[in-house]
Structure 1
Amino acid sequence: MLYNTQYTIRPLLKRRQLEKNCWKLSKMFLRCFGCQMGLQEKLEKCESTLSSIAASKPAATQKSSSTPTAAALAAASANGRSNIAAPAVKFSNDTERLQHINSIRKSPVGAQMKRVIHLLYETRQALTPEQINEACYVDMKANKDVFDNLRKNPKVNYDGQCFSYKSKHNLKDKIQLLHLIRKFPEGIAVIDLKDSYPTVMEDMQALKAVRQIWLLSNFDSQEDIAYPNDPRVPIKVDDDLKQLFRNIELPRDMIDIEKDLQKNGMKPATNTAKRRSAAQIQGISPKPKVKKSRREINSRTKLTNAHLPELFQKLIN
């Protein structure tokens, strides 16, 4: 009997469960269908109202209403700017440059002077202390020693307001350079002309190319000397005279050279004949070498092993 009840109750429970599920599904379907119908009606009403509004207003007002006004855009941008936080400003974005400036201003006075003189030499302009500070970071107003030494420097000209480079010769162009070289027929050192103006070396090479000056080296100082080539005295030498000069053979013996010098009224600095005769008679004796006397050890001599006097007994005696 128990067996039969188990098999009869189970199908009933399953059927009831299915009925409940079907009822729930039907409710959900009805709700969704009702919502869809309501949405459809609302959409139709909105479309009808929009079409009536569009028909009543002209096209110009429709465009103006669709696009925002300039005042609205300005207000929106202002609100946006106020809402956006400004980026944090750092104390220094160029720390490396400030460290470089600090190292220059803490350098010795001579180093700062050299920096300013190099700036004046390169620019060849009259600069105020403020302009020098901006260009090479040397603050002469804050450093009185640099200011005073530059004012007295022979390579710097100070007119009360501006500093400028002062060269040894005040030249501006190639014409003035040639005029100065012609004032020195014995020659002028190139090193004294190098700092006259930036293109002075190129101008000297150009003058040399057209044979208006000569650039020769001095064997004593190994420096170039500029000599003028005076165009008012043109000298043309014939080839026969050049060949005759080159064919002259100079005497090889010093005695013959001394005789030729005496014939031309010049006194030779040497007397080779006398020196040779003395060498044949007496012979050339080398100078004897002077031997240094050996220092003797006495009571004043400082000894290293003073605690062992028996080692130096024989030397002292």
Structure 2
Amino acid sequence: MALQEKLEKFKKQQESCQSILTSIAASNKARPTQKVTPAMPPAISKPPPPAVKFSTDTERLQHINSIRKSPAGAQIKRVIDLLLETRQALTPEQINEACYVDTNANKTVFDSLRKNPKVNYDGKRFSYKSKHDLKDKSQLLYLVRKFPEGIAVIDLKDAYPTVMEDLQSLKAAGQIWLLSNLDSQEDIAYPNDPRVPIKVDDDLKQLFRGIELPRDMLDIEKDLQKNGMKPATNTAQRRAMAQVQGISSKPKTKKKKHEISKRTKLTNAHLPELFQNLNK
């Protein structure tokens, strides 16, 4: 009987729990459902674009305007300098973009460039034209050898970008001479080739031979310094050092030439011209 009572009591507890769960489920259905949205991360704020500096743009436009209003000669020089620096064939549009000279809008500048001896125009592009069409050191040497009387370096400077370095290289190799013209202070390139005949005027020869040089080296060095040249020797210093060391700076007297006499043993009897002064 005790077991039966316990079973009955357990069933009542089960029914009570079931009714409680049913009531809870019914109350949840009656409530409006709320959707829980996940929290979004805060948006990353982009930095604002940099403000346009109208002052810089205004300065550039003023610069372009000053170039285009400058004299035609200044604009032509600007274009020629550009062509010399780049060594490229450029269209009028490329020239305008590079140096702000609008050749299409300025007929005077366009026509002057087309006729300029330093500019080549093929109908579409402008390019730099040097006086001598050279490409390298070998062509440079060949040209200099065609001018035995010398060619001005100023006429070679714009041949190609490294022409001045090649001139110094040819000079160092002893293939050419680079001498200065005293009148114009410009360098002249001469070929150093024994096969090239060099003509010298008779008046210049007579003038050269008529110059009397000082007998003392000190005076020669002073004259060289007076004419802007650096002497290769320093006689004053050399003589001072000789005096300190007790060496006489006086020239040595030549020994009396030994004359051949009858008692001299002749070993070159087959050369009679050596014994014309033989004392009888």
- Give me the TM-score of the superposition, normalised by structure 2: 0.52
Partner residue, 1:230: 193
Maintained 8 Å contact 1:212/1:231: no
Percent identity of paired positions between Structure 1 and Structure 2:
77
Alignment of 1:139 onto 2:96: no
Q: By percentage of residues, which structure has more helix?
A: 1
Partner residue, 2:63: 100
Alignment of 1:173 onto 2:140: no
- Inter-CA distance 251–160: structure 2 relative to 1 (3 Å threshold): closer
Query: What CA distance in whole angstroms lies between the structure 1 residues aligned with 2:65 and 2:101?
Result: 10
- Inter-CA distance 67–208: structure 2 relative to 1 (3 Å threshold): farther
Q: What is the one-letter code of the residue matched to 1:141?
A: N
Q: CA deviation at 1:119?
A: 0.8
State the Cα deviation string for residues 69-103 of structure 1 (Å, max 9, x = none): 9xxx9xx78xx89xx99888676751111110000
Alignment of 1:121-270 (within 5 A): 121-230=84-193
Q: What is the one-letter code of the residue matched to 2:60?
A: R
Bigger mean CA offset, 170-179 vs 219-228: 219-228
Query: What CA distance in whole angstroms lies between the structure 2 residues aligned with 1:223 and 1:86?
Result: 58
Q: CA deviation at 1:187?
A: 1.2
- Inter-CA distance 229–251: structure 2 relative to 1 (3 Å threshold): closer
Query: What CA distance in whole angstroms lies between the structure 2 residues aligned with 1:86 and 1:251?
Result: 82
1:172 match: secondary structure: coil
- Inter-CA distance 251–124: structure 2 relative to 1 (3 Å threshold): closer
State the Cα deviation string for residues 244-281 of structure 1 (Å, max 9, x = none): xxxxx9796xxxxxxxxxxxxxxxxxxxxxxxxxxxxx
2:188 match: secondary structure: strand
Q: What is the one-letter code of the residue matched to 1:159?
A: D
Partner residue, 1:49: none
Q: What is the one-letter code of the residue matched to 1:123?
A: T
1:215 match: secondary structure: strand
- Inter-CA distance 92–152: structure 2 relative to 1 (3 Å threshold): same
Runs of 4 or more consecutive aligned structure 1 residues displaced over 6 Å after TM superposition = 84-92, 249-252
Query: What CA distance in whole angstroms lies between the structure 2 residues aligned with 1:186 and 1:67?
Result: 94
Q: CA deviation at 1:144?
A: 1.0
- Inter-CA distance 251–230: structure 2 relative to 1 (3 Å threshold): closer
Bigger radius of gyration, 1 or 2? 1
Partner residue, 1:272: none
CA RMSD across the alignment: 3.2
Q: CA deviation at 1:68?
A: 5.2
Unaligned stretches of 5+ in structure 2?
A: 1-35, 197-208, 213-280
Unaligned stretches of 5+ in structure 1?
A: 1-61, 234-248, 253-317
Alignment of 1:233-312 (within 5 A): none
- Give me the TM-score of the superposition, normalised by structure 1: 0.46
